[in-house]
């Protein structure tokens, strides 16, 4: 079974021919994720079929992604702990002003949509797939009216996206009862209603704190003051990735942890809302480098923290959050999401549903090779792909009888994208992987030319 059949074969599109067309489009996009649509499709008929698919108003983006979400849940069931990472990315089509149906972004001069994705990974950072993906279109007429936000119900606010992700995690938890599913969000996720919904659904969450909330504890009236007064119980070196203009480095951080009860927002006192018990893990870089902000994470979680080991485990879980940022990078840079011109928002969103899964596959190939290096490469590559790859790398027409490991194959693909593989180079990153994967497609086609009767390992 090809990867596209597994991820899209159960899509409820109402017509088997639509599903078959979807699978063929997904396979073509996967082979050349950065290429233009005409360059992806083998024939003019295939290109016409792609445009017809994107133009079909009977096909909904959510239905296209649903099959992949089901496949994601199947993969989740094999792991004792999985992290559902949620985050938002701006998708900007301001350079395509003729595209209709888009919302506003940072201001009314920019158009596009907000993409809120929930990506499931293991604590070892193996991407398992999408669990939820929301598209938010900001209405130009309502844009900038922050003064009315307190009067609106949470369902009418943009921040409702965090609650919907929590609900998606709870649904997957029910489908995977043997796995612990933890929903993870950054400071924007520090929303009282998100914690409340998590409590109502008994869904574990881990969010980074943003607000100095009122608390019930007698030792202090506010969260940050209370956390700062906790006793330092351990220290550790944490590896920090490159952050904007700041280079990657190691940070020496202190650890504090405890349990606290968060009060509801004061302006909602009349609603009779409950206090919410959470565990707090506070890590802070006490002596950061000069002219650089130090690391400071105040993590709020409903997963019990009972000792130093479990506190560090929560820190390690939150450190996986950057994987969702990498996912959006693959989607926007590797799949060239913002370069697409399909004239209407509806067409763009149908196309988005396909490349959202293609982007996961590229990310998955990169990081699963690190988490499970001895796994067979057939977990991600078709036989014709790894055979063509092997023959090209080893300059031989003879195909091996057994597939190489995923780590071997991923490094060969990275070589095609410019990875040198020196001892100092570490593991290949996503940029060389998507570049190499595009070259692999051409090699497979050439392999077919010189092996016209090729039908598998021989």
Is 132:86 a contact under the CB 8 Å cutoff? yes
- Residue 269 is predicted with a pLDDT of 83
Distance CA 333, CA 257 (A): 39
- For range 73-87, the mean pLDDT: 97
- Residue 456 is predicted with a pLDDT of 46
Is 390:415 a contact under the CB 8 Å cutoff? no
Is 103:137 a contact under the CB 8 Å cutoff? yes
pLDDT beyond 80 at 152: no
If one looks up domain 372-450 in CATH, what number appears? 1.10.740.10
Cα R_g (the chain), whole angstroms: 24
pLDDT beyond 60 at 415: yes
- Residue 148 is predicted with a pLDDT of 59
pLDDT beyond 50 at 406: yes
Higher-confidence residue of 242 and 457: namely 242
For 233-247, write each residue's pLDDT tens digit: 999 998 887 777 888
- For range 91-100, the mean pLDDT: 93
Distance CA 323, CA 325 (A): 5
* pTM confidence score: 0.92
Quickly state the pLDDT bin for 143 (edges 50, 70, 90): low
pLDDT above 90 covers a percentage of the chain that reads 67
Provide the strand spans (E) within 324-395: none
Provide the strand spans (E) within 153-287: 180-185, 205-208, 234-240, 249-262, 276-285
pLDDT beyond 70 at 70: yes
- Residue 238 is predicted with a pLDDT of 87
For 339-384, write each residue's pLDDT tens digit: 999 999 999 999 999 999 999 999 999 999 998 999 999 888 888 8
- Residue 156 is predicted with a pLDDT of 83
Higher-confidence residue of 391 and 422: namely 391
pLDDT beyond 60 at 50: yes
Lowest mean pLDDT among 143-152, 235-244, 288-297, 325-334: 143-152
Which of helix, strand or coil describes residue 85?
strand
pLDDT beyond 70 at 449: no
Higher-confidence residue of 396 and 123: namely 123
- For range 196-209, the mean pLDDT: 97
CB crowding 162-196: b at 16 or more within 10 Å, else e: bbbbbbbbbbbbebbeebebbbbbbebbbbbbbbb
Distance CA 175, CA 25 (A): 29
Instruction: Kindly report the number of other CB atoms within 10 A of residue 91's CB atom.
Output: 20
- Nearest by Cα to 96 from 327, 337, 329: 337
* Stretch(es) of the chain classified as CATH 3.90.350.10: 213-315
Instruction: Kindly report the number of other CB atoms within 10 A of residue 415's CB atom.
Output: 18
Top CATH class of 213-315 equals alpha beta
pLDDT above 70 covers a percentage of the chain that reads 95
pLDDT beyond 50 at 424: yes
pLDDT beyond 90 at 131: yes
- For range 291-315, the mean pLDDT: 95
For 276-301, write each residue's pLDDT tens digit: 999 999 999 988 888 888 899 999 99
- For range 3-21, the mean pLDDT: 93
Higher-confidence residue of 19 and 1: namely 19
Quickly state the pLDDT bin for 457 (edges 50, 70, 90): very low
Quickly state the pLDDT bin for 31 (edges 50, 70, 90): confident
Is 123:317 a contact under the CB 8 Å cutoff? yes
- Residue 257 is predicted with a pLDDT of 97
The two structure tokens encoding residue 345: 């928002």
Higher-confidence residue of 398 and 185: namely 185
- For range 19-40, the mean pLDDT: 92
Lowest mean pLDDT among 5-14, 34-43, 442-451: 442-451
pLDDT beyond 70 at 149: no
> What does the mean pLDDT of the chain come to?
90
* Stretch(es) of the chain classified as CATH 1.10.740.10: 372-450
- For range 304-331, the mean pLDDT: 96
- Nearest by Cα to 388 from 375, 373, 374, 377: 377
CA angle in degrees (0–180, nearest 5) for 141-61-39: 105
């Amino acid at each position: 079974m090809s990867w596209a059949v597994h991820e899209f074969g159960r899509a409820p599109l109402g017509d088997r021919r639509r599903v078959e067309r979807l699978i063929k489009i997904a396979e073509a996009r996967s082979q050349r994720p950065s290429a233009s649509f005409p360059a992806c499709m083998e024939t003019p008929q295939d290109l016409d079929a792609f445009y017809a698919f994107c133009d079909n108003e009977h096909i909904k983006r959510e239905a296209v992604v649903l099959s992949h979400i089901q496949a994601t849940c199947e993969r989740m069931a094999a792991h004792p702990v999985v992290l559902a990472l949620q985050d938002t990315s701006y998708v900007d089509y301001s350079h395509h002003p003729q595209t209709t149906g888009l919302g506003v972004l940072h201001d009314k001069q920019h158009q596009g949509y907000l993409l809120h994705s929930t990506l499931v990974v293991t604590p070892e950072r193996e991407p398992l797939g999408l669990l939820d993906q929301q598209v938010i279109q900001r209405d130009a007429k309502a844009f900038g009216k922050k003064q009315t936000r307190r009067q609106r119900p949470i369902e009418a606010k943009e921040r409702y996206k965090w609650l919907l992700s929590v609900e998606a995690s709870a649904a997957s938890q029910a489908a995977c009862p043997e796995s612990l599913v933890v929903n993870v969000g950054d400071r924007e996720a520090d929303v009282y209603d998100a914690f409340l919904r998590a409590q109502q659904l008994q869904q574990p969450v881990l969010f980074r704190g943003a607000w100095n909330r009122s608390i019930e504890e007698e030792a202090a009236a506010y969260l940050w003051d209370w956390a700062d007064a906790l006793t330092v119980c351990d220290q550790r070196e944490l590896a920090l990735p490159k952050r904007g203009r700041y280079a990657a480095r190691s940070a020496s951080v202190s650890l504090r942890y405890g349990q606290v009860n968060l009060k509801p927002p004061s302006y909602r006192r009349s609603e009779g809302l409950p206090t919410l018990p959470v565990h707090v893990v506070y890590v802070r870089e006490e002596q950061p480098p000069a002219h650089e902000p130090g690391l400071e994470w105040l993590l709020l979680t409903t997963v019990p923290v009972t000792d130093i080991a479990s506190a560090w485990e929560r820190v390690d879980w939150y450190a996986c959050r950057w994987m969702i940022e990498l996912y959006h990078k693959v989607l926007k840079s590797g799949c060239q999401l913002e370069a697409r011109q399909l004239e209407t928002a509806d067409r763009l969103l149908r196309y988005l549903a396909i490349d959202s899964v293609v982007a996961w596959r590229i990310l998955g190939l990169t990081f699963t090779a690190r988490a499970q290096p001895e796994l067979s490469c057939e977990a991600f590559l078709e036989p014709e792909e790894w055979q063509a790859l092997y023959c090209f790398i080893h300059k031989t027409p003879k195909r091996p009888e057994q597939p190489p490991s995923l780590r071997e194959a991923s490094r060969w693909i990275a070589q095609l994208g410019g990875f040198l593989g020196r001892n100092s180079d570490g593991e290949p990153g996503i940029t060389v992987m998507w570049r190499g994967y595009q070259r692999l497609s051409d090699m497979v086609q050439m392999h077919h030319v010189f092996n016209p009767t090729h039908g598998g390992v021989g």
